[in-house]
Amino acid sequence: MLNFFRLVATLEGISYLALFYNMLYNKPNNPELYQQLLYPIGMIHGILFVLYVVLAIYLKYEYNWSFKKLGLVLIASLLPFGTFYSDYKWLKN
pLDDT band (50, 70, 90) for residue 90: confident
Instruction: For residue 76, give the amino acid letter.
Output: A
End-to-end CA distance of the chain: 13
Tens-digit pLDDT profile for residues 48-89? 999 999 999 999 999 999 999 999 999 999 999 999 999 998
Q: What is the pTM of this model?
A: 0.90
Query: How many domains are contained in the chain?
Result: 1
pLDDT attached to residue 93: 64
Domain range for 36 = 2-91
83/79 Cα distance (integer angstroms): 8
Q: 22-53, pLDDT tens digit by residue?
A: 999 999 999 999 999 999 999 999 999 999 99
Report the distance separating Cα 86 and Cα 10, nearest Å.
10
Q: What region does 59 belong to: left with phi over 0, alpha with psi -120 to 50, or beta?
A: alpha
